Amino acid sequence: MLRRVFVAMTAMASLLVFGISAAQASLRVKVDISSQRMHVYVNGGLRHVWKVSTGKRGYRTPTGSFRPTRLERSWYSRKYNWSPMPHSIFFIGGVAIHGSNYVRQLGRPASHGCVRLARGNAARLFNLVRRHGARRTRIVVTY
């Protein structure tokens, strides 16, 4: 009898621990404008470091802490000549993290305010945000 109680309590404790850790799963995306790098943390551990392009002179990338507001697998900028913005993760107004064909410009300011990534990295990030959900994703943009 005592053995059954112990096994049942161990199973309940395991479910509780795994349930809590799954509920606390988090995704943190840190964009450093000064270094033009993005650091992606999954559950507190560094998963990716990627070059980005943020706003060039005259076009500011907003700083602060944000949650994703909208995800669009295929999007085109209505403001900038229907430029493709694949795997867009919008985080404030019309500003998004998205894929770009201009990979030679990654690592220096070159955008109209968005955060540009290589297309493959944008797809990876997009899928991570979808998997974790907007409520468990935090986007932090700093200098």
110 token code pair: 């070159």
Give pLDDT, residue 11.
41
pTM: 0.82
143, 34 contact by CB (below 8 A)? yes
HEC sequence for the chain: CHHHHHHHHHHHHHHHHHHHHHHCCCEEEEEECCCCEEEEEECCEEEEEEECECECCCCCCCCEEECCCEEECCCECCCCCCCECCCEEEEECCEEEEEECCHHHCCCCCECCCEEEEHHHHHHHHHHHHHHCHHHEEEEEEC
| 6 residue type, one letter | F
Return the pLDDT at 49.
Answer: 98
Domains of the chain: 27-142 (2.40.440.10)
| 51: nearest Cα among 112, 113, 122 | 122
pLDDT means per 10 residues, the chain with 143 residues, are 42 40 74 98 98 98 98 94 95 97 97 98 98 98 97
- Distance separating alpha carbons of residues 15 and 81, to the nearest angstrom: 52
Please tell me the number of Cα atoms within 13 Å of 47 on its side-chain side: 14
